[in-house]
Chains A and B, each alone.
Chain A
Amino acid sequence: NAGVTQTPKFQVLKTGQSMTLQCAQDMNHNSMYWYRQDPGMGLRLIYYSASEGTTDKGEVPNGYNVSRLNKREFSLRLESAAPSQTSVYFCASSEALAGGADTQYFGPGTRLTVL
């Protein structure tokens, strides 16, 4: 049982480049989330998906797109990276259905630097 896995672990991009962060969970969880963590700011929710086929904006969605490919996988895409997107990105999953709240299990994170 790997839990939540994320790839890549580290990435350096130039301004304007695009990339996709991958996340997968093997716990059969319904909900999946993408967060970013910046110094002094705490984790902020970018997007979440309460079930396969649905996605919703979180607190800071601008500059990102997501895709819930199936129940296991939830990807985050930066279409045109900007230095302000330099951050640590965490994917998480939980059993909770829409409207619920449950323990979130986090992946190890992706450290992204945009030059």
Chain B
Amino acid sequence: RKEVEQDPGPFNVPEGATVAFNCTYSNSASQSFFWYRQDCRKEPKLLMSVYSSGNEDGRFTAQLNRASQYISLLIRDSKLSDSATYLCVVNTGNNDMRFGAGTRLTVKP
């Protein structure tokens, strides 16, 4: 079983839609959690960290459920520019970051 699992998609949604991605992790001792965004043939870039209390950044909301060992990302009012692959990242300790394979999102006009 992979340490971090994501639905690969693709998710194809119209502009303005709300879309949610989930990610599960296997190591219950994992300490910190992140969502990164990766555009085609580019490097990953941090989208947001994920806190136990949940956090919001504009149209993006991240949630962490430690009991069930999953992380979610909600995107409201999708824009064309949101089209990308979203990577779930889990720090299992000592800077050992484990990446999910990513969920691909395409937002269509």
Contacts and interface: CB of A to CB of B under 8 A. Distances in A.
Contacts of A42: 2, 4, 87, 99-102
Given A40-B8, A90-B44, A106-B43, A101 B97 contact: yes
Interface in B48-87: 49, 87
Interface string B1-14: 01010001000000
Interface residues of B, number: 24
A40 B101 contact: yes
A109 B43 contact: yes
Nearest to B91: A101
Contacts of B44: 43, 90, 104, 106
A42 B102 CA distance: 7
Contacts of A44: 99
Contacts of A104: 44, 46, 97
Nearest to A99: B94
- How many of chain A's residues touch chain B, expressed as a range? 20 to 34
A96 B100 CA distance: 21
A13 B49 CA distance: 38
B99 A98 contact: no
A41 B44 CA distance: 14
A24 interface: no
Nearest to B90: A101
Contacts of B97: 33, 45, 101, 104
Interface of B: 2, 4, 8, 31-32, 34, 42-46, 49, 87, 91, 93-102
Interface of A: 31, 33, 35, 40-45, 48, 50, 56, 58-59, 90, 94, 96, 98-101, 103-104, 106-109
16 contacts: A31-B95, A40-B8, A42-B101, A42-B102, A43-B87, A45-B96, A50-B94, A98-B94, A99-B93, A101-B32, A101-B95, A103-B49, A104-B97, A106-B44, A106-B45, A107-B43
Given A42-B99, A45-B96, A104-B97, 6 more contacts: A56-B94, A90-B44, A98-B94, A101-B91, A108-B43, A109-B42
